[in-house]
Amino acid sequence: MNIQDIKPAEGSTHKRKRVGRGVGSGHGKTSCKGHKGQKARSGGTVGLGFEGGQMPLQRRVPKRGFTNIFGKTYATINLDSLNSLQGIDVITPAVLKEKRIIKDMKDGLKVLGNGKIERAITIQAAAFSASAMEKITAAGGKAEVL
Protein backbone atom coordinates (compact mmCIF):
# COMPACT_ATOMS: atom_id res chain seq x y z
CA MET A 1 0.00 0.00 0.00
CA ASN A 2 1.28 3.45 -0.89
CA ILE A 3 0.26 6.88 0.41
CA GLN A 4 -1.54 7.66 -2.87
CA ASP A 5 -3.74 4.57 -2.42
CA ILE A 6 -5.24 5.83 0.86
CA LYS A 7 -8.72 7.26 0.39
CA PRO A 8 -11.27 8.63 2.86
CA ALA A 9 -13.97 6.24 4.10
CA GLU A 10 -17.08 5.74 1.97
CA GLY A 11 -19.63 8.49 2.65
CA SER A 12 -17.02 10.78 4.25
CA THR A 13 -17.18 14.54 3.68
CA HIS A 14 -13.37 14.83 3.57
CA LYS A 15 -12.36 16.96 0.60
CA ARG A 16 -9.39 16.19 -1.66
CA LYS A 17 -6.46 18.62 -1.28
CA ARG A 18 -6.10 20.57 -4.57
CA VAL A 19 -2.65 22.07 -4.75
CA GLY A 20 -1.21 24.63 -7.16
CA ARG A 21 -4.51 26.42 -7.74
CA GLY A 22 -3.59 29.95 -6.68
CA VAL A 23 -2.48 31.73 -3.52
CA GLY A 24 -6.08 32.18 -2.31
CA SER A 25 -6.56 28.42 -1.96
CA GLY A 26 -3.88 28.19 0.71
CA HIS A 27 -2.08 25.54 -1.33
CA GLY A 28 -0.78 27.70 -4.17
CA LYS A 29 2.68 28.88 -5.20
CA THR A 30 4.92 26.05 -3.97
CA SER A 31 2.04 23.54 -3.76
CA CYS A 32 2.77 22.56 -0.12
CA LYS A 33 6.33 21.49 -1.02
CA GLY A 34 8.27 24.32 0.62
CA HIS A 35 11.10 26.18 -1.11
CA LYS A 36 13.64 24.47 -3.38
CA GLY A 37 15.51 21.34 -2.40
CA GLN A 38 15.25 17.73 -3.51
CA LYS A 39 11.74 17.17 -2.15
CA ALA A 40 10.40 20.21 -4.05
CA ARG A 41 11.48 18.77 -7.42
CA SER A 42 9.55 16.33 -9.56
CA GLY A 43 10.64 12.77 -8.86
CA GLY A 44 12.52 14.17 -5.88
CA THR A 45 12.76 11.21 -3.56
CA VAL A 46 15.72 9.07 -2.58
CA GLY A 47 15.78 5.45 -3.73
CA LEU A 48 14.69 2.56 -1.56
CA GLY A 49 17.50 1.68 0.85
CA PHE A 50 19.45 4.90 0.19
CA GLU A 51 21.22 6.05 3.36
CA GLY A 52 22.55 9.46 2.33
CA GLY A 53 25.67 8.16 0.62
CA GLN A 54 26.60 5.78 3.45
CA MET A 55 27.04 2.19 2.24
CA PRO A 56 23.51 0.74 2.40
CA LEU A 57 22.74 -2.07 4.84
CA GLN A 58 21.98 -4.44 1.97
CA ARG A 59 25.59 -4.03 0.75
CA ARG A 60 27.21 -3.99 4.22
CA VAL A 61 25.80 -7.39 5.23
CA PRO A 62 27.72 -10.38 3.81
CA LYS A 63 26.10 -12.84 1.42
CA ARG A 64 25.43 -16.29 2.87
CA GLY A 65 24.14 -19.63 1.62
CA PHE A 66 22.89 -20.64 -1.78
CA THR A 67 19.77 -21.91 -3.53
CA ASN A 68 19.93 -25.53 -4.58
CA ILE A 69 18.49 -25.61 -8.10
CA PHE A 70 18.03 -29.38 -7.84
CA GLY A 71 16.29 -29.30 -4.44
CA LYS A 72 12.75 -30.65 -4.17
CA THR A 73 9.97 -29.08 -2.11
CA TYR A 74 7.20 -31.49 -1.16
CA ALA A 75 3.63 -30.85 -0.10
CA THR A 76 3.30 -32.65 3.25
CA ILE A 77 0.42 -34.46 4.89
CA ASN A 78 0.23 -36.37 8.19
CA LEU A 79 -1.31 -39.78 8.81
CA ASP A 80 -4.06 -38.39 11.04
CA SER A 81 -5.37 -36.38 8.04
CA LEU A 82 -5.37 -39.51 5.87
CA ASN A 83 -7.10 -41.51 8.61
CA SER A 84 -10.08 -39.12 8.44
CA LEU A 85 -10.71 -40.02 4.77
CA GLN A 86 -13.34 -42.75 5.17
CA GLY A 87 -14.42 -44.97 2.26
CA ILE A 88 -11.27 -44.46 0.16
CA ASP A 89 -8.97 -47.48 -0.09
CA VAL A 90 -6.33 -46.05 -2.46
CA ILE A 91 -5.17 -42.55 -1.61
CA THR A 92 -3.31 -40.73 -4.40
CA PRO A 93 -2.17 -37.11 -4.76
CA ALA A 94 -4.99 -36.59 -7.30
CA VAL A 95 -7.60 -37.72 -4.72
CA LEU A 96 -6.21 -35.31 -2.09
CA LYS A 97 -6.25 -32.43 -4.58
CA GLU A 98 -9.82 -33.28 -5.60
CA LYS A 99 -10.95 -33.36 -1.93
CA ARG A 100 -9.10 -30.02 -1.42
CA ILE A 101 -6.98 -31.37 1.40
CA ILE A 102 -3.84 -30.22 -0.45
CA LYS A 103 -3.96 -27.05 -2.54
CA ASP A 104 -0.43 -26.85 -4.01
CA MET A 105 1.25 -30.16 -4.87
CA LYS A 106 4.70 -28.54 -5.48
CA ASP A 107 7.22 -31.28 -6.46
CA GLY A 108 5.13 -34.15 -5.10
CA LEU A 109 3.56 -35.43 -1.90
CA LYS A 110 5.39 -36.57 1.22
CA VAL A 111 3.54 -38.49 3.93
CA LEU A 112 4.66 -37.78 7.51
CA GLY A 113 4.05 -40.01 10.52
CA ASN A 114 2.16 -37.71 12.91
CA GLY A 115 -0.96 -39.42 14.26
CA LYS A 116 -2.01 -43.03 13.79
CA ILE A 117 -3.77 -44.99 11.08
CA GLU A 118 -6.47 -47.50 12.03
CA ARG A 119 -7.27 -49.26 8.77
CA ALA A 120 -5.40 -50.91 5.92
CA ILE A 121 -5.11 -48.46 3.03
CA THR A 122 -2.80 -48.05 0.06
CA ILE A 123 -1.09 -44.67 -0.10
CA GLN A 124 0.73 -43.47 -3.22
CA ALA A 125 3.17 -40.59 -2.75
CA ALA A 126 6.57 -39.32 -3.89
CA ALA A 127 8.14 -39.84 -0.44
CA PHE A 128 7.38 -41.24 3.01
CA SER A 129 9.02 -40.60 6.38
CA ALA A 130 10.37 -43.68 8.16
CA SER A 131 7.76 -43.48 10.93
CA ALA A 132 4.91 -43.10 8.41
CA MET A 133 6.10 -46.14 6.44
CA GLU A 134 6.29 -48.15 9.69
CA LYS A 135 2.78 -47.18 10.84
CA ILE A 136 1.18 -47.87 7.43
CA THR A 137 2.68 -51.37 7.19
CA ALA A 138 1.80 -52.10 10.86
CA ALA A 139 -1.85 -51.29 10.06
CA GLY A 140 -1.74 -53.74 7.12
CA GLY A 141 -1.61 -51.10 4.39
CA LYS A 142 0.83 -50.39 1.59
CA ALA A 143 3.06 -47.38 0.95
CA GLU A 144 3.80 -47.03 -2.76
CA VAL A 145 6.49 -44.60 -3.91
CA LEU A 146 5.58 -42.88 -7.17
Contact 76, 102 (CB under 8 A): no
For residue 70, the model assigns a pLDDT of: 95
- Provide the CB-side half-sphere exposure for 90 (13 A, CA): 5
Quick one: average pLDDT of 95-120? 89
Is the pTM higher than 0.85? Answer: no
d(CA 5, CA 67): 35
Q: Please give the pLDDT value at position 13.
A: 82
The pLDDT tens digits of the residues spanning 17-29 come to 899 999 998 899 9
Question: How confident is the model over 27-37, as pLDDT tens digits?
Answer: 999 998 999 99
Q: Angle at CA 17, nearest 5°, toward 16 and 23?
A: 145
Instruction: Residue 4: count other Cβ atoms within 10 Å of its Cβ.
Output: 6
Q: Give me the chain's average pLDDT, please.
A: 90
Tell me the domains of the chain and their CATH numbers: 16-46 (no CATH), 75-145 (3.100.10.10)
